Structure 1
Amino acid sequence: MSFQPSFTATAIGSLPHRDAEEACALTLKYLTEAPAWPQLPRRDFRENMYAQYSEGLPGVVVDAEGRKVFCDTERDLFAEMEEVLRAYLEGDLEWAAISEDYASGLHAMRRRVAAEGRRYPLLKGQVTGPVSFGLTVLDRRNRPILYDDQMAEVMVRLLNLKARWMEEFLRSAGASEEVLIFLDEPYLVSVGSALVSVSRQQVVDSIRGCTEGLDCLTGAHCCGNTDWTLLYQAGLDVVNFDAYGYMESLALYPEELSRFLEGGGILAWGLVPNTPAVDEEEVAGLVRRFEEGVRLLASRGVDEGLLRERAMITPSCGLEGLSEERAERAYRLAAEVSAALRGEEPGRLSEEGT
């Protein structure tokens, strides 16, 4: 792995903006080493994290007025399923391209960084993970498509195609040393509960299926309590957790975390809150949270040096629920916490940020 984390700041992806160019400008102002292309669900429902990757899904209906995505399984979907599997087997990534109507921030970011003439250590992209996508998108009987074996297989193949297409799309800008593709998995908080009938093996296999064939760094984000060993076992390079609200949950699996870090894994700390609490936080307080987290994990046997060496910094989750001003503050804090942990001066960010 050529990329060294070194407290690099990046983001989960979503912003409250409606203008893609403004969202890209904000991102590049603060996330100067690892910008994440902005998802803009307020601009268009098609940029909602479940609609955004639904193009090509057999039977898909994107109901913008009702703000829902579902599969019309009452009609014959055999030909559409065959088409997904054909594209997968042939490696037809262009077939799975994400259009600008569904991801204006992705296309705007690629154009912008391609025109700049500079290279970033990392460009980050994101795709909704298979567990969250499969539990949220329902069929005509209001049953999650994850519970339909055929639809679940096709969904994983489709998400894999989109992740591979996104890697190539970002690489083709010629603006980064490396690409990182995240799987966003908020529904992992429900795995193991009575509400969700999904086995551990299905979770691991589905995530592995989504990252198969990627030549870049891979990661996953979950913004709550979960069994973190699922993500370690899935063979990901980066695990992102909500360090602001759920530090204790990570400390439940110290041996598995140690093996993950010793194997070269990166832990991305979601230190900056994605709530109005961002108004009350300052760099020093967030640095203290990081240090407290390191002490907690070290007390459970995780190597303190590795925790620092293999760390990245992010907001705790997406920022679409904030105002534009608060979203900017969250990005500024992430950048300044990154600088502080490196022992650097925040410089112009303190002067120009909100």
Structure 2
Amino acid sequence: MPVNRVVNSADPAVAARVDGGTIGGVSSGETQRVWAPGAATGVGSMPGVDAGEAAAVVFGELPGFPHLPELPARGVGADLIGRAAALLVDLAVEVVPSGYRVTARPGRDHRRAVDLLRWDVDAVTEAAEHTRPPVVKTQVAGPWTLAAGTELPRGHRVLTDPGALRDFTDSLVEGLSAHVTELADRTGARVVVQLDEPSLPAVLAGALPTPSGYGTVAAVPEPQARELLGTVIEAARAATGCPVAVHCCDRLPPVGLLHGAGADAISLDATLLGGAPGTLLDEVGEAWDAGVTFLLGLVPSVAPERRPELRELARPAFDLVDRLGFARSMLAERAVPTPTCGLAGTTGEWVRRALSLARDLGKAFVEPVEGW
């Protein structure tokens, strides 16, 4: 699968050829970067249960690149799998003791997930009326995480059945397309999709337990994982005309696979890269050299014991580009600061501070502080 390069729309030669998010005269895989240099964003989740308050905080602290907040504290239907299930077309889930399971028709659990997502979009619409952001990011479970976290009627994971896996992927793509269209219409902003794949490393390693708990599900070969993920990335890009990001918070994220699947941006915890093996750094370097943007998790997702200095928070990003042999100035165009992961487990006070620090890091990448 070809690599999809992200083109900086600030380049006059490229901007002259941009028409509605597609770039005439260039291969269809190339995509316009729609956020400004120095922009910062969040990973997704927030604490609390008030969608309006969460949206107001996100759009207030991250006016250049806000995201649709996720509030898992609300329970069933508000977590990663439940929110993805709310997008499914002609498929429904219910909650059983072991988690989410396919069911014949939408019941209370599925309707609750749909309602929660609708309320979230309403909250974001109201927040966008006050800030008019140029771009909004929405997050959804990627195909492998959704298939790993949803059971078939007999208790086996969806990913163990090729037909079910295909049906779920097609349904997710159709629902996601409708979701981003509505979000763009409601907010007046371009929409960037972030596919969350926290389960992908376990899928590749064959580390997911079977229903009995005595065995593990067979590992999915990397080419198969790359192909399916690439299908969803391409569909999301076609639906939005914008770059597509993939997030994986694992200590050893499969950067090479994400790059090979066509991700325009890769979101990871940059604070974990200090002791990363050379193979992972090679994959990061190859992706960066090919034009992939990195959403670098730099701000703690829970309040630290002492207030961190901005230079301290930026250090992992500087160390990364130094180790890879790139100029630090590249961070302004090709890195987007974020918290290290979701903020669902922290306090409201730290949420505001964390997002503010991410925004300050983005500004510092564009205009480095003297002595950095």
> What is the match of residue 198 of structure 1?
220
Change (3 A) 1:253 1:31: same
Q: TM-score, normalised by structure 2?
A: 0.76
Shift of residue 173 of structure 1? 2.7
- SS of structure 2 residue aligned to 1:195: coil
Tell me, yes or no, if the aligned pair for 2:35 and 2:64 is still in contact at 8 Å: no
> What is the match of residue 31 of structure 1?
62
Shift of residue 131 of structure 1? 0.9
Query: Out of 234, 244, 264, which is 1:218 matched to?
Result: 244
Q: Distance in 2 between matches of 1:140 and 1:339?
A: 50
The share of aligned pairs that are identical, in percent, is 25
> What is the match of residue 20 of structure 2?
none
Q: Distance in 2 between matches of 1:202 and 1:279?
A: 45
> Does 1:292 find its partner at 2:319?
yes
> What is the match of residue 169 of structure 2?
156
The one-letter code sitting in structure 1 at the alignment partner of 2:220 is V
Spell out, residue by residue over 1:308-354, the C-alpha distance to the aligned partner (whole angstroms, 9 max, x if none).
Answer: 43111111111111122222222122112122222279xxxxxxxxx
Tell me, yes or no, if the aligned pair for 1:130 and 1:210 is still in contact at 8 Å: yes
Mean Cα deviation higher: 268-277 or 152-161: 268-277
> What is the match of residue 264 of structure 1?
291
Change (3 A) 1:53 1:147: same
Q: Distance in 2 between matches of 1:278 and 1:238?
A: 31
The one-letter code sitting in structure 2 at the alignment partner of 1:199 is P
Q: Distance in 2 between matches of 1:106 and 1:29?
A: 16
Shift of residue 175 of structure 1? 3.0
Query: Out of 53, 56, 69, which is 1:22 matched to?
Result: 53
Change (3 A) 1:60 1:174: closer
> Does 1:60 find its partner at 2:73?
no
Q: Distance in 2 between matches of 1:293 and 1:247?
A: 8
Q: Distance in 1 between matches of 2:271 and 2:357?
A: 13
Q: Distance in 2 between matches of 1:154 and 1:194?
A: 22
Q: Distance in 2 between matches of 1:303 and 1:257?
A: 15
Spell out, residue by residue over 1:154-190, the C-alpha distance to the aligned partner (whole angstroms, 9 max, x if none).
Answer: 11112212321222112113532x3210000111232
Query: Out of 127, 147, 154, which is 2:160 matched to?
Result: 147
- SS of structure 1 residue aligned to 2:272: coil
> What is the match of residue 188 of structure 2?
175
Tell me, yes or no, if the aligned pair for 2:321 and 2:327 is still in contact at 8 Å: no
Shift of residue 283 of structure 1? 1.4
Which 5+ residue runs of structure 1 have no aligned equivalent?
Answer: 81-97, 346-354
- SS of structure 2 residue aligned to 1:105: helix
- TM-align CA RMSD: 2.7
> What is the match of residue 198 of structure 2?
186
Tell me, yes or no, if the aligned pair for 1:237 and 1:265 is still in contact at 8 Å: yes
Tell me, yes or no, if the aligned pair for 1:278 and 1:329 is still in contact at 8 Å: no
- SS of structure 2 residue aligned to 1:99: helix
Q: Distance in 1 between matches of 2:34 and 2:92?
A: 40
Shift of residue 110 of structure 1? 2.0
- SS of structure 1 residue aligned to 2:65: coil
The one-letter code sitting in structure 1 at the alignment partner of 2:226 is V
Which 5+ residue runs of structure 2 have no aligned equivalent?
Answer: 1-31, 106-112, 209-218
Alignment of 1:1-354 (within 5 A): 1-3=32-34, 5-55=36-86, 56=88, 58=91, 60-63=93-96, 66=97, 68-72=99-103, 99-113=114-128, 115-116=129-130, 119-176=132-189, 178-196=190-208, 197-211=219-233, 212=235, 213-214=238-239, 215-224=241-250, 225-249=252-276, 252-254=279-281, 256-277=283-304, 280-298=307-325, 305-343=329-367
Spell out, residue by residue over 1:202-232, the C-alpha distance to the aligned partner (whole angstroms, 9 max, x if none).
Answer: 2212212223132322110000112211110
Q: Distance in 2 between matches of 1:182 and 1:209?
A: 14
Number of equivalenced pairs: 315
Q: Distance in 2 between matches of 1:3 and 1:58?
A: 33
- SS of structure 2 residue aligned to 1:220: strand
- SS of structure 2 residue aligned to 1:53: helix
Change (3 A) 1:105 1:278: farther
Q: Distance in 2 between matches of 1:154 and 1:278?
A: 47
Q: Distance in 1 between matches of 2:284 and 2:278?
A: 9
Q: TM-score, normalised by structure 1?
A: 0.80
